[in-house]
Amino acid sequence: MSATATKDPQRAIGRSPDRLSLDERRALVGKYIALEIYTPEDLPLRRIEAIGDSLEECARQLGARGLDPLRFEFTRLPPPY
Protein backbone atom coordinates (compact mmCIF):
# COMPACT_ATOMS: atom_id res chain seq x y z
CA MET A 1 0.00 0.00 0.00
CA SER A 2 1.31 3.44 -0.83
CA ALA A 3 1.67 6.21 1.74
CA THR A 4 -1.95 7.10 2.41
CA ALA A 5 -4.05 8.58 5.15
CA THR A 6 -4.06 5.17 6.88
CA LYS A 7 -0.42 5.76 7.83
CA ASP A 8 -0.42 9.56 8.02
CA PRO A 9 -3.77 11.31 8.64
CA GLN A 10 -2.33 14.60 7.32
CA ARG A 11 -2.36 13.04 3.82
CA ALA A 12 -6.16 13.35 3.90
CA ILE A 13 -5.94 17.15 3.92
CA GLY A 14 -7.14 18.61 0.64
CA ARG A 15 -9.26 15.56 -0.19
CA SER A 16 -13.02 15.12 -0.04
CA PRO A 17 -14.14 12.84 2.80
CA ASP A 18 -16.23 11.00 0.19
CA ARG A 19 -13.09 10.14 -1.79
CA LEU A 20 -11.28 8.36 1.05
CA SER A 21 -10.82 4.64 0.54
CA LEU A 22 -12.52 2.22 2.93
CA ASP A 23 -9.17 1.48 4.60
CA GLU A 24 -8.46 5.20 5.01
CA ARG A 25 -11.96 5.84 6.35
CA ARG A 26 -11.65 3.00 8.88
CA ALA A 27 -8.25 4.30 10.03
CA LEU A 28 -9.66 7.82 10.54
CA VAL A 29 -12.93 6.91 12.32
CA GLY A 30 -13.43 9.21 15.30
CA LYS A 31 -10.98 11.88 14.09
CA TYR A 32 -12.28 15.43 13.81
CA ILE A 33 -12.15 17.09 10.39
CA ALA A 34 -12.63 20.72 9.38
CA LEU A 35 -14.60 21.58 6.24
CA GLU A 36 -15.13 25.13 4.99
CA ILE A 37 -18.65 26.41 5.74
CA TYR A 38 -20.94 26.90 2.75
CA THR A 39 -22.43 30.35 2.28
CA PRO A 40 -24.37 31.66 -0.73
CA GLU A 41 -21.48 34.05 -1.46
CA ASP A 42 -18.85 31.36 -1.22
CA LEU A 43 -19.24 27.87 -2.66
CA PRO A 44 -16.28 26.00 -1.18
CA LEU A 45 -15.05 22.62 -2.29
CA ARG A 46 -15.95 19.95 0.26
CA ARG A 47 -12.44 18.95 1.18
CA ILE A 48 -10.70 18.26 4.45
CA GLU A 49 -8.71 21.30 5.56
CA ALA A 50 -7.58 19.95 8.97
CA ILE A 51 -7.72 16.61 10.77
CA GLY A 52 -6.96 15.73 14.36
CA ASP A 53 -7.97 14.05 17.59
CA SER A 54 -9.63 17.21 18.97
CA LEU A 55 -11.36 20.38 17.84
CA GLU A 56 -8.49 22.39 19.31
CA GLU A 57 -5.96 20.49 17.22
CA CYS A 58 -7.96 21.19 14.05
CA ALA A 59 -8.25 24.89 14.94
CA ARG A 60 -4.48 25.07 15.56
CA GLN A 61 -3.77 23.47 12.18
CA LEU A 62 -6.05 25.97 10.43
CA GLY A 63 -4.49 28.91 12.27
CA ALA A 64 -0.99 27.72 11.38
CA ARG A 65 -2.02 27.87 7.71
CA GLY A 66 -3.42 31.41 8.11
CA LEU A 67 -7.05 30.25 7.92
CA ASP A 68 -9.81 31.51 10.23
CA PRO A 69 -11.27 28.55 12.19
CA LEU A 70 -14.61 30.41 12.43
CA ARG A 71 -15.10 29.84 8.69
CA PHE A 72 -15.07 26.06 9.14
CA GLU A 73 -17.40 23.40 10.42
CA PHE A 74 -15.96 20.59 12.50
CA THR A 75 -17.28 17.07 12.51
CA ARG A 76 -16.16 13.61 13.53
CA LEU A 77 -15.65 11.07 10.79
CA PRO A 78 -18.15 8.24 11.23
CA PRO A 79 -17.54 4.64 10.12
CA PRO A 80 -17.79 4.17 6.33
CA TYR A 81 -20.98 2.09 6.62
pTM: 0.82
Torsion from C-alpha of 46, 25, 33, 75, nearest 10 degrees: 90
The whole-number pLDDT of residue 1 equals 35
CA angle, 9 then 14 then 61, to 5°: 60
The whole-number pLDDT of residue 50 equals 96
- The residue extents of the domains of the chain are 9-76
C-alpha to C-alpha distances, 41 to 18, 36, 49, nearest whole angstrom: 24, 13, 19
**Rounded distance between C-alpha atoms, residue 22 and residue 66, angstroms:** 31
| pLDDT per residue as tens, the chain (81 positions) | 345 777 888 889 999 999 999 999 999 999 999 999 988 887 777 899 999 999 999 999 999 999 999 999 999 999 887
The whole-number pLDDT of residue 3 equals 55
